Structure formats: structure tokens, C-alpha cells
A = this chain, B = another copy of it.
Amino acid sequence: MPNLQVALDNNTIESALADAVKVGQIVDIIEAGTILILQEGDKAVKALRGVFPDKIIIADTKCADAGKTVAQNMANAGADWMTCICSATIPTMQAAATEVSDLQVELYGNWTKEDAQKWLDAGITQAIYHQSRDALLSGEVWGEKDLNRVKELVQMGFKVSVTGGLSPDVLPLFKGVDVYTFIAGRAITQASDPKKAAQAFKDVINKIWG
């Protein structure tokens, strides 16, 4: 059954923690978002680890280079998993992967199936399929093309997380696809009742994949 991950793209630790504690017991994975880490540094990860000692915590660094140093820093701060951007080199990914429990490749732009095979061959088994926030803002939506690429990655052997403009209404689109994790940010944190919003995601996941 797919996991539910909340992405905290807040500007401050205080605001991120306030959001996190509302839904922390419902979601499976808590993400320190890129915006948050760029604003607050590794202290954002430390704060989440302090409040949620037993949850999977992801540092969404979208690391492109200096994989070893960035991953060491994030692991020291308490992150379990970390993200790297798909345009990072294989040596960067491998260097990062040795320092965290798991590394996730964030898929943006021109990646190919050959690239994906190279990541697998290098031992990277998690990928995040993205509808870019800015692409969504400019009117793009989830469609058949996205679904087919997600399916292809699953068939190749990746654990695939899916993110970008998700709502409980969108999830049935993925019926029959072995999605590893659905990631939602503001659809949960900006809801009038975040706890209810997180539970609504969980309910749909249970109904379709349970």
C-alpha cells in the first residue's frame, strides 16, 4: 500500500513544526522541503527529528553536487533519506548514497530511460516523479504521459514516489499502479483542517490499494 508523505515547504521552522504536529501521526513520512532547508539550514531537519524520533524524515536537498558532504550533513542532522536531482552525476549519487539510509532521485527535465537504468545499476532504487510546482502553476496537469512514465519506472524496479498538485481526487488515476509514496504539501498543510485532509488521502489510498 502506498505511503503518504507530507512535504513541509515552509519558510520557518516554527511554521513547519506547527504544520507537522497536526498531521505527524497520520502520515508515514515527513519531508523537510527544499524551501525550508534553504531558509533554515540543517536545523530544520534537526527540529523535525527532535519532534518525530520514530518517523522517516526526508531532507529534500535536491542535491546536484558534493554528494558526500551534503549527505553527511543531512544524516548528522537526523535525516533518514535524502533527495538528489536527476542531473547529478553518478559519482555524486553514489557518494551521497553511502551516507544516508536511502537516496531518492528527483526527476526533472530531460532524463531518459538509459539514465534511469544507470541509477539502478549504481544501486539507486528510489525515484520521485514530479509535476513541477511552476509547471502546475502554468496550467499543466497529470495525464497519460505521466502515468506511463511512472509505470515504466515501477516496471524497471524503482520504488516511485509521486508528487505535484496531488489531491485525493487525483489518486484514482493511479489505480493499478504500484506507487510507493504519494507526496502532498499544501493540499494538506494549507487545508482548513490539515488532519482531516491528511486522513482523506489515507482513506483513498486504503480504498484503492488496501
Contacts and interface: CB of A to CB of B under 8 A. Distances in A.
Interface of A: 9, 11, 34-35, 37-44, 61-70, 73-74, 85-89, 91-92, 94-95, 106, 108-112, 115, 130, 132-135, 137-138
A99 to B, nearest CB: 12
Nearest to A136: B91
A69 B106 contact: no
Given A34-B70, A38-B38, A41-B39, A65 B134 contact: yes
Contacts of A109: 86-89, 110-111, 115
A37 B44 CA distance: 12
Contact of A64 (B34, B43, B66): B34
Given A39-B41, A91-B134, A65 B108 contact: yes
Contacts of A108: 64-65, 85, 87-89
Nearest to A33: B66
